[in-house]
Amino acid sequence: MKKLSLYTLIGLLFCNFGLANSIFLECKFLSSNNSVWGEAPPSDIDSFQYYLLTADKKTLYVKGNREKTKGECALGNCETISKYDDYPKLSLKKETSERLYFGRDWYDGRNLFDDHTINKTNLELVVLNNLVSIAPGMYDNKDEIVEESQRIYQCKKINKFPF
């Protein structure tokens, strides 16, 4: 019985099935626009999103975010890192020869969507969602405004996350 336990323990130590061939992605923010504010102006911050793509390429996890001030930092730490432990998984909705389409749709008082599309050849990521709503009266609007936004990132494979 002791040998069986030892063999099981050794097997578990050397077999990491969960992350065996998973792909870690660091995606640098390039541009964005949305239905309310239009195209976003250039920023003085470099922003990165971190994703985990499972080995079977059927699930995408949003793992965190890192922002760093461009240029020299004169007053201490000019970098923030946020880890997302509770971000829901994004399931593969469709695959073509060029792209992987991940996303989730649900109803919470209105129809919501959160879609992430990865170009297989150049690893460009496009995120399209409608998760933000502006309550009536906030900007002289009579009715609720649902903001649809699109963000574009350029991704690269990395060996591990910075958190």
**In which residue are the tokens 């002791």 written?**
2
What is residue 1's predicted lDDT score, i.e. its pLDDT?
A: 53
What is residue 14's predicted lDDT score, i.e. its pLDDT?
A: 46
What is residue 77's predicted lDDT score, i.e. its pLDDT?
A: 85
Percent of the chain with pLDDT over 70: 88
Residue 5 pLDDT grade (very low, low, confident, very high; cuts 50, 70, 90): low
Give the mean pLDDT of 25-46.
94
Q: Is the pLDDT of residue 2 over 60?
A: no
Q: Is the pLDDT of residue 65 over 50?
A: yes
Residue 74 pLDDT grade (very low, low, confident, very high; cuts 50, 70, 90): confident
Residue 143 structure tokens: 């009715």
Give the mean pLDDT of 125-147.
92
Say how far apart CA 104 and CA 92 lie, in whole Å. Answer: 9
Contact 33, 3 (CB under 8 A): no
Q: Residues 6 or more apart from 71 whose CB is under 8 A from it?
A: 44
